[in-house]
Structure 1
Amino acid sequence: MKTSRWIAYFECALAMAMGGGVVVAGKFLATTFPVFLAAGLRLIIAAPILTMMLLVREGRLPRLQAREACWLFACSFGGIFMFTVFLLLGLRYTTAAESGIITSTVPIFTTLVAVVFLKEKLGGWGVVAVLLTMIGILVLNVADGDFSSARGPDPWLGNGLIFGCVIGETLFTIAAKLASGRLSALAIAAYVNIFGLITFLPFAIYQALHFDFSAPGWTSWSAIVFMGVGISVFQFMIWFAGVSKVSGSTAAVFTGVMPVSAVLLSYAVGGERFIWPHLVGMVCIVASILAVTYSHASAREVEARGAA
């Protein structure tokens, strides 16, 4: 039992570490591929693989109810379309390190959306999480002066665009909760990628007609494969294998691995330079994730006591 638990922890940590690689891969793609073509190529790889996995495991594509189709399209629009477009545009103006830290604020903003629209309670630790997030983002965006050479050509614009990823991923998270009552996680992943491919395909074809496919180097093509197979397929499988064996609050803690991974990979693979605001921002975001996780756990404990 103890060994199984540690394996689950490793799977959750590995999946989030791979998630940190998304922004580094996106950095390679942002300057070599047009935005819609890059996304289309990723989905051309991912959607058929996930569909075949679903057919093997469940025997068929489950028929969608109208409500489920709407929520899954919202998932795709937020988590695939908005996230990819804002990520690749933003990375032209800011660094992978700062992008990874900002995109890791999704749990906090998802909590805020749940408070506003789903009437959930925030609680004291939730307030702490929001304040820590604001401090972390503020530190990143005021780090000019001696750090300007390590921050990208227009970090305010770039980080603002990256925040669009957070909005998109928040929409994905909320819509996935509303769509996940009857469908398996694999079915949701397959349909989200299929809808994403349908959305991107017309724009991708148009950009492909005017693109020189011999221009990108092996790093850019490797980034496409990593995004399509490594993230859309393998990361999903590893994350689902891990979270199926631990509590929701425990799984949420591991999302703090993502900003750490993004920053370290941006230095090791992306060749970016370390600056202390990255460390401050990363610590604030990880602490905010822990705070909001503790807030959710406390709320569930209070509800359990009330029910008893």
Structure 2
Amino acid sequence: MSRQVQGYLYLALAMLTVGSTVIASKLIASGLPTFTATALRFALAFPVLLVLMRATGVRLPKLSRHDRLILVIQAGAGSVGYTTLLISGLGLTSAADAGVVIGTLPVVSAAISILLLRERPKPALLVAVALATAGVLSIAVTPNAAGGSLAGNALIFCAVFCEGLFILLNKKLKTDIPPLAQSTLMAGIGFVVAVIPAVFEAPFAQDISTGAAVAVAYYALVPTVAGFLLWYAGAARVSGTEAALFTAVAPVSAVMLAFLILGEPIGLNQVAGIACVLAAVLGLAAAGSRAAMTISGGR
């Protein structure tokens, strides 16, 4: 197997784990308080990431006060904000609808860059935004189909926006932080941020379902840790544009897993939505945009 084909395989598997977070979050939503689940996710992932840092010899560079502040905000938005909003949204809407909305992340990230960084939009991006919007509207106009919910879909979109802010804030860091070190920091800071509100949820006073506990462990170890390793192993073997194309696998896998694992029906509105989102992501990547989603601590 050639190095390039290996890269494709790693990237596809990485995006498959990203799609599977929707299924895990759906299971968590039915059996664990939101902040408790988020804190547990990072409590499990953090020591594993620390061991990986030690095993690979990755060190944390000296950080300025500015960068430390950026990292705290990133953890609050991209780590805790994304996870809690995703779980909360999936308590109200279907995993299939959530998969469509999450697929808009590359487009949303690029749009945020235009709005906040005053970057000049390229025609390909404007087309991608229009297509992604059409995809989301296709499920928004039929919110009750297949267990969907307008409020739930709105929460999922807020989660996507939080992850978009994470990507934007990454551009504001003045120090070059190794990806593994940054993911470890996000898990550690994310735990501290999430554990405070988790205490007020009185998690030990509630019955925790086995399915939800297993889903949290899966989320912590597979998408957060294994997904990170797969993404960067794949990205090291292919070009940036090729890697960006594989972000389209995430929403497709989320919708398909919702059907296969959760037994959710997939209606014409989800099919139309995923088609529009795929066209937007693939078109954006093919045009050479660098606003693609990456596996990071925010995930």
**TM-score, length-normalised on structure 1?**
0.89
Q: CA deviation at 1:210?
A: 4.3
Distance in structure 2 (CA, Å) of the matches to 1:255 and 1:175: 20
Query: Given that residues 30 and 212 in structure 2 are in contact (C-alpha distance below 8 angstroms), is that contact kept between their aligned partners in structure 1?
Result: no
- In 2 relative to 1, CA 245–74 (structure 1 residues): closer, same or farther, beyond 3 Å? farther
**Aligned counterparts of 1:121 and 1:247: Cα–Cα separation in 2:** 24
What is the Cα deviation at residue 209 of structure 1? 5.0
Match of 1:189 among 172, 183, 186: 183
Aligned-pair RMSD on alpha carbons? 1.8
**Cα distance in 2 for residues equivalent to 1:9 and 1:60:** 28
- Tell me how far 1:226 sits from its aligned partner: 0.9
Query: Which of residues 153, 172, 175 is equivalent to 1:178?
Result: 172
| Equivalent residue runs for 1:30-109 within 5 Å | 30-58=29-57, 60-109=59-108
For 1:227 and 1:101, the matched residues in 2 are separated by 19
* Match for residue 272 of structure 2 among 277, 280, 285: 280
**Structure with the higher helix share, 1 or 2:** 1
Give yes or no for contact 2:58–2:181 (8 Å, CA) kept in 1.
no
Q: What pairs with 1:1-308 in structure 2 (closer than 5 Å)?
A: 3-58=2-57, 60-143=59-142, 148=144, 150-152=146-148, 155-179=149-173, 181-213=175-207, 215-217=208-210, 219-296=211-288
Secondary structure at 2:255 match in 1: helix
- In the alignment, the residues of structure 2 paired with residue 127 and residue 280 of structure 1 have an alpha-carbon distance, to the nearest angstrom, of 19
TM-score normalised to structure 2 length: 0.91
User: Where does the alignment leave 5 or more consecutive residues of structure 1 unmatched?
Assistant: 299-308
More displaced, 254-263 or 242-251? 242-251
Task: Encode CA deviations 1:179-211: one digit per residue, 9 max, x unaligned.
Answer: 375210001101111110110112223334543
Q: Rate the CA distance shift 1:256–1:209 in 2: closer, same or farther, 3 A.
A: closer
Q: Distance in 2 between matches of 1:277 and 1:226?
A: 30
Match of 1:301 in 2: none
Aligned-pair distance for 1:118? Answer: 2.2
Q: Is the Cα–Cα contact under 8 Å of residues 12 and 242 in structure 1 kept in the other structure? A: yes
Q: How many residues are paired up?
A: 290
Cα distance in 2, alignment partners of residues 70 and 190 from structure 1: 16
Deviations 1:73-110 (A, max 9, x none): 22211211111111111111110111111011111011
Distance in 2 of aligned mates of 1:255 and 1:149: 26
**Distance verdict in 2 for CA 1:209–1:284, change over 3 Å:** closer
Shift of 1:60: 4.5
Q: Residue type matched to 1:164 in 2?
A: C
Distance in 1, Cα, partners of 2:159 & 2:184: 21
Deviation at 1:120, TM superposition (A): 2.2
**CA separation of 1:24/1:209 partners in 2, compared to 1, >3 Å: closer, same or farther?**
closer
Q: Is the contact between residue 123 and residue 295 of structure 1 (CA under 8 Å) also seen in structure 2?
A: no
- Relative to structure 1, is the Cα distance of residues 165 and 297 closer, same or farther in structure 2, using a 3 angstrom cutoff? closer
What is the letter of the counterpart of residue 157 of structure 1?
Answer: A
